[in-house]
Structure 1
Amino acid sequence: MPGVRGRSVRWPVLGVVGALLVTGCGGHDRSPRPHTLVFDVTGQGTLSSLTYTIDGRATGRKSVGLPWHQTFRLPARKGGHKWDLTAKLDSGSVYVEVYLDGARMSSGGCAGDGCDSGGSGSTAD
């Protein structure tokens, strides 16, 4: 029967189209959301300098004792956020971890005279 065959094809297609409308076609239309960014720097010694940049705004500190920990609340922002962190050490050891919304985004460390470590990344809201 031609009518039955046509109906069996039409319903699955409508179901797929409906599912795409409900889910937003793969998330491309997602609204920006706030984020929590955490810089965690541990080790032995004193950092000669610590510099972090969030969305183009740089902050620098000298003679930073370890451990050093900072949490940032990033507001919802179309286009997302970008960050960078650099920890410089004259001597000793340093380990840097960066977390976004509780998930580790980067980690690394170094030991010895004149080492530096850090991390960078971005969100894609």
Structure 2
Amino acid sequence: MVRKGIRLITLMVSRDGFYKMSRLYVTPDSFFLKVRLLVLDTYKCSKPCPDIKLGSRYIVMGQIYHRRRHLPNDLLALLGGKLKPGDGLLRSNNYVKRFNKRRHQKALEATRSKCR
């Protein structure tokens, strides 16, 4: 918990996970993504980890691993044999640039915004 009402959650997203973030689309079977969500308004939730739903008020603060070798060794050990050849591959460098730029903008906006 960052402070009351705000949590930082880390999720590993594979081809079975999200396929759309903001207006940027990726092919679900061509990426492996580490996503940090800055979840707002969680003070109303008594669960230790609130349910994440698309369209809820959260900010994506992810890092894209566009090559498999960029995954940390401890993460590869944890995932074991769950990664298949090609997992972790993201073909579009433009997507990575736009994602990171938008991620940075959203993080800045979140620090300035007030809950409604």
Instruction: Report if TM-score (shorter chain) is over 0.5.
Output: no
Question: If the length of structure 2 is used for normalisation, what is the TM-score?
Answer: 0.29
- Which structure would you say has the larger Rg? 1
